[in-house]
Structure 1
């Protein structure tokens, strides 16, 4: 099936080459991908336009880069493209996929982020295969929304909803999805959905109501600080005694897999419940993720966290929750407005 595709290069490993000082972005590295793709025999007759909104290793990404990229994507809507491929670094792919899912939640065409495990001139690289599969997904599935695509260690081209891809694991460079349930796979150039109770059917994306996208933050200064904390035994919350002029707008606090964290009495510097109380006095909301449904098997420590004022987020990954909280705080300084934003679904970030 013919397709007219816009390719947006942002750098990352897929746009890098190995040099004297290690792997780094290269001014020609991104376009080398198109040269490689053109040399594949038997490829479909897709047409490509290309642009490079930015060129950086994704670990160097800052929030203003999301604004720039989202604007480049949104400007392409209604321009006759069947879809958009965004080449991206793998380090922050899951974060950008979630953020762009919110900023482009009304996308009328597929927007697919993809990356590479090694530079394209390395024979171990899956970058070309990932790009080819992303183009095929646009042509075959044609589903509106934001997605990510990356090949796994079994040679499968895995398709994720943009809000449902978790960070790549160290050592293996493998991405995953909550519940181990990606949206689907590309096999032989065709999209095969992955049926799972938490996954929407492909038809739901076609029929979904067009969510109202939030406004694009105007500059890097428009993104207020948000603190993200992961628990571990011995965490001392006393180090977070910030002055009023350096307080974060909000806190996202991970819990352990069972939705718990330390609430031990008699040790306030070690207790998340005490830290939540500290934050509430300073009008800094604390969101907790992942949390279990209170009607289910919730631990007593979890109940103490919510009783202290922690705001539980159920059925959403840490990556998707953090990006949504960053964006919510950039859109409003009112904690109540931010909470309403956090609890309003935009693009399948919440799993039933």
Structure 2
């Protein structure tokens, strides 16, 4: 008999319509287990157990809540369990999936995150199906690692590595992945891996935990949220970013799809000038995503690097941002934080062949 622990954290999958709005409801979470136990798809070889360390809509979560969740899991005796299913809100699912991946990269059982696009009572909801498929994946495949299971708008249930899922887009609520390559698919309760040069083989996950897995104690875990994320657009005026008296430790500056941002030499729209100003204040500026630094770059990209921007290559923005929170939380020395963010490899976050 497979023993699975369900970790409820709230989110739409644990919410109900209350008055004119939608909010978390404790009974809403646990009703998933009741529904599952009375459903036609209940596995005869699975017993579910449950805890609820958080009960929040995911847009309201902070790094302090992430620490609470990670500490709760770290303090558990996981030896009785064959897998964890973590229910979470879809709004920030990609971020928490990356963070859990970094912190639990050495797990020898599957950690499977899932969510819902609508509350369970809504007929449009995929929450119950996602929950069932997450259980099927955790119990059936028994792949060690951190994954996300989520049904797309075509009715396909996709499996993502935890560091390779990108935020759901507006209007369609669909998650993505770098290069459009999920890890696999679940159909009729059975997982099939997507053969691709960028996807580690299931055998790779089974052989051994990543050798670079972090060593951390629950009581000492610190995640630093003093990271400012900036997304470029035409007319972005950097003079509005006044970092006095409170200064972030780092800025993560997103890029256009070609790895560029406004690189005029000076003026309010100049990113190189903004980078220089940040350097003068002791603030590290990172740019991401860049497919490969060794690739031929546009001249504007090179100007950003020459101005002092630190390149995070081959990572999605979601994976990069959470890694920076971890880097500056773990390392007081900025040089060590920079090295951790750009040189370490924790859980398949680098999308490479």
TM-score calculated relative to the size of structure 1: 0.95
Structure 2 residue 182 is the aligned partner of structure 1 residue 182? yes
Residues 71 and 219 in structure 2, CA contact (< 8 A), matched pair in contact too:
no
SS at match of 2:84: strand
- In the other structure, the counterpart of 1:238 is 239
Write the distance in 2 (CA, Å) between the matches of 1:75 and 1:63: 18
Write the distance in 2 (CA, Å) between the matches of 1:63 and 1:219: 14
Q: Deviations over 1:290-339 (max 9, x none)?
A: 12434322100111111111011111000000000011111112111111
* Superposition deviation, residue 141 in structure 1: 1.5
* Superposition deviation, residue 51 in structure 1: 0.5
Structure 2 residue 42 is the aligned partner of structure 1 residue 43? yes
Structure 2 stretches lacking a partner, 5+ long: none
Residues 223 and 326 in structure 2, CA contact (< 8 A), matched pair in contact too:
no
- In the other structure, the counterpart of 2:140 is 140
- In the other structure, the counterpart of 1:298 is 297
* Superposition deviation, residue 71 in structure 1: 1.9
Structure 2 residue 345 is the aligned partner of structure 1 residue 345? yes
- In the other structure, the counterpart of 1:247 is 247
- In the other structure, the counterpart of 1:116 is 116
Write the distance in 2 (CA, Å) between the matches of 1:233 and 1:194: 38
Write the distance in 1 (CA, Å) between the matches of 2:179 and 2:219: 36
Write the distance in 2 (CA, Å) between the matches of 1:22 and 1:350: 39
Q: What is the Cα-based RMSD across aligned positions, in Å?
A: 1.7
Structure 2 residue 327 is the aligned partner of structure 1 residue 328? yes
Write the distance in 1 (CA, Å) between the matches of 2:24 and 2:223: 27
Write the distance in 2 (CA, Å) between the matches of 1:33 and 1:140: 19
> Once structures 1 and 2 are overlaid, which stretch shifts more, 272-281 or 316-325?
272-281
Residues 63 and 225 in structure 2, CA contact (< 8 A), matched pair in contact too:
no
Write the distance in 2 (CA, Å) between the matches of 1:191 and 1:71: 30
Find runs of 4+ consecutive structure 1 residues off by over 6 angstroms: none
Structure 1 stretches lacking a partner, 5+ long: none
Equivalent residues in 2 for 1:251-330, closer than 5 Å: 251-265=251-265, 267-330=266-329
- In the other structure, the counterpart of 1:76 is 76
Residues 293 and 314 in structure 1, CA contact (< 8 A), matched pair in contact too:
yes
Write the distance in 1 (CA, Å) between the matches of 2:221 and 2:33: 31
Write the distance in 2 (CA, Å) between the matches of 1:216 and 1:157: 35
Aligned length: 349
- In the other structure, the counterpart of 2:162 is 162
Residues 289 and 316 in structure 1, CA contact (< 8 A), matched pair in contact too:
yes
Residues 67 and 222 in structure 2, CA contact (< 8 A), matched pair in contact too:
no
Equivalent residues in 2 for 1:87-102, closer than 5 Å: 87-102=87-102
- In the other structure, the counterpart of 2:15 is 16
